[in-house]
Chains A and B, each alone.
Chain A
Amino acid sequence: MSERSRGFLRDNALSLVFGGLFLLTLLGQAISGTADYNAQQVANGLEPVTLLEYVTSSSFGVDVMENWQSEYLQFFLYIFGTVWLIQRGSAESKKPGEEGLESDEEQRIGRHAQDDSPAWARAGGLRTAVFSRSLGLLMGGLFLLTWAASSVAGWAAFNSEQLGQRQDPVSWLRYLGEADFWNRSFQNWQSEMLAVGSMAVFSVYLRQRGSPESKPVGVAHGDTGQTG
């Protein structure tokens, strides 16, 4: 392996490992999802489907997208929430008294920008205002897009079940009022809220040596926002 490709792998190890795990687990979902779908098909006296047929079905699509939307909702809420809300002692929180957007000097924007600051941090005006919120805006935008995608695929999957049970299909707007759509949304949202809240408070009293998600092991429980 060349020096250059070793550098690439090391520089991007976190993203690459999680990207690889994403593909493996998506494959796992496709295989187990096909088996589960076919068990229901057989129970209903219908023909089983192939893996390719399953991964090109809205049934697979909605199962993937309903989880994506909740992850991006979680990050969106967490990114904006941690601007204004603190948790005393948490590695995930700013220190008490630092709530809010902070000064231009602290954020190194406009005339406080440094030589290596991104151009949009220096530019001022609308560009700096947008760039200052770009991470949260992207997460919020991805939430809306993935939630919309899950509603469209969920609608198609719902109607295919309706037809299987000799019931009338519904319009997309009507599906947005169906319990199926909201059950899929809420069951994913609740787990994200629990995970975020527990991570914020568990990191007050527990440590993971070497992890930036944790305070250094010897830091006092009451110290807030010191990451290791």
Chain B
Amino acid sequence: MRSVRAVFAVYLAVILIGIVYVTALGLMGR
């Protein structure tokens, strides 16, 4: 189950990074 937990964490991280990245692009007015 440890490997499954790693995949879970990667998915969540990718989604949160995507949200932060796109929000930052918008706030910087790019």
Contacts and interface: CB of A to CB of B under 8 A. Distances in A.
Contacts of B18: 64-65, 68, 149
A61 B23 CA distance: 8
Nearest to A69: B19
A155 interface: yes
Contact of B26 (A7, A15, A16, A58): A58
Contacts of A142: 15, 19
A207 B5 CA distance: 32
A153 B25 contact: yes
A159 B30 CA distance: 10
Interface residues of A, number: 30
Contacts of B22: 58, 61-62, 64-65, 149-150, 152-153
Nearest to A152: B26
Contacts of B30: 56-58, 156
A186 interface: no
A168 B3 CA distance: 52
A152 B4 contact: no
Nearest to A22: B14
A61 B25 contact: yes
Interface string A45-77: 000000000001110111011001000000000
A146 interface: yes
Contacts of B11: 15, 19
Nearest to B8: A15
Interface in A148-171: 148-150, 152-157, 159-160
A195 B7 CA distance: 27
A160 B23 CA distance: 16
Given A156-B26, A159-B29, A8 B3 contact: yes
A152 B23 contact: yes
Contact of B7 (A15, A154, A159): A15
Given A15-B7, A149-B19, 8 more contacts: A12-B4, A19-B11, A58-B30, A64-B22, A145-B19, A146-B19, A156-B25, A156-B27
15 contacts: A7-B3, A11-B4, A12-B7, A15-B7, A19-B11, A58-B29, A58-B30, A60-B25, A61-B21, A62-B26, A145-B16, A149-B22, A152-B22, A153-B22, A156-B29
